[in-house]
Amino acid sequence: EPEVTQTPSHQVTQMGQEVILRCVPISNHLYFYWYRQILGQKVEFLVSFYNNEISEKSEIFDDQFSVERPDGSNFTLKIRSTKLEDSAMYFCASSERGQGASGNTIYFGEGSWLTVV
């Protein structure tokens, strides 16, 4: 079964440092997403990306965050200056069509665990 892959699986970073989380969505998918899950809490939507631009972002996704599709396969999430409260599991996801479209399924990666110290 095709899968979304994420790297690194775990990263520890100093507060104030920049972090880039990488994702390889499923190859024929057109919609890409980042979600995060703070330990013990629910999964929260960050951003969606389609046709090389952000299609939606949540309140969490402030100016410290950015996303990019630098080439035909990778999808990255950058946190410019990390804060302690950015510590969370970050999930990349992709779908062939938009969320809610008939027959669409959203596939999540295994996550990147970010610890800010």
Nearer to other proteins, 74 or 81 (CB): 74
User: Alpha-carbon distance 113 to 75, whole Å?
Assistant: 17
Place of tokens 């779908």: 95
Residue 40 to residues 28, 37, 82, 85, 112: CA-CA distances in angstroms? Answer: 33, 8, 20, 14, 15
SS3 86: helix
**45: contact with other proteins by CB under 8 A:** yes
Place of tokens 């024929």: 28
**41: contact with other proteins by CB under 8 A:** yes
**12: contact with other proteins by CB under 8 A:** no
> For residue 25, what are its two tokens?
């969505």
Least distance (Å) between residue 50 CB and other proteins = 8
Tell me the site size for other proteins, rule CB under 8 A.
25
> For residue 95, what are its two tokens?
């779908």
**48: contact with other proteins by CB under 8 A:** yes
**74: contact with other proteins by CB under 8 A:** no
Least distance (Å) between residue 106 CB and other proteins = 6
Q: Give residues in contact with other proteins (CB under 8 A).
A: 4, 31, 33, 41-45, 48, 50, 55-56, 58, 91, 93, 98-100, 105-111
